[in-house]
Amino acid sequence: MNFGSINPVTAGAVDVNATVDYSCSSIISLLSYIKVCIEIGPGASDTDVNNRYLPHASVTSDRLAYNVYSSAARNTVIGNVYGSASPPVILQHGPYAVTLLATAKGTQTIYGRIAASNPFMQRSVGPYNTSLTVTVRMAVISLIDLLPCVDSNPAVVPMPVTAQMLSACQITASPLDFGRQPSNFSSAVQSTSQINSSCTKGTAYQIGLNNGLYASGNQRRMRSANGQYINYELYKNAGRTQRWGMALNTPETVTGQATGSSQNATVYGQVSPQSGLRAADYKDTVTVTITY
User: Residue 31: its pLDDT value, please?
Assistant: 82
User: Residue 289: its pLDDT value, please?
Assistant: 98
User: Residue 98: its pLDDT value, please?
Assistant: 73
pLDDT beyond 90 at 269: yes
pLDDT beyond 80 at 151: yes
Average pLDDT over residues 48-66: 97
Which of 16-30, 58-72, 104-118, 141-155 has the least mean pLDDT? 141-155
Tens of pLDDT, residues 199-236: 999 999 999 999 999 999 999 999 999 999 999 999 99
Of 99 and 155, the one with more pLDDT? 155
Average pLDDT over residues 82-86: 94
Between CA 262 and CA 271 the distance in angstroms is 29
User: Residue 257: its pLDDT value, please?
Assistant: 95
User: Residue 107's pLDDT band (boundaries 50, 70, 90)?
Assistant: very high
Please give the domain boundaries of the chain with CATH numbers for all domains. Answer: 2-165 (2.60.40), 169-291 (2.60.40.1090)
What pTM was computed for the model? 0.84
Tens of pLDDT, residues 26-56: 988 888 899 999 999 999 889 999 999 999 9
User: Residue 142: its pLDDT value, please?
Assistant: 85
Longest dimension (CA), the chain: 106
Which of 18-32, 51-65, 253-267 has the least mean pLDDT? 18-32
Average pLDDT over residues 175-183: 93
User: Residue 131: its pLDDT value, please?
Assistant: 97
Between CA 1 and CA 159 the distance in angstroms is 7
Tell me which residue of 3, 109, 122, 117 sits closest to 54, measured CA to CA: 3
User: Residue 245: its pLDDT value, please?
Assistant: 98
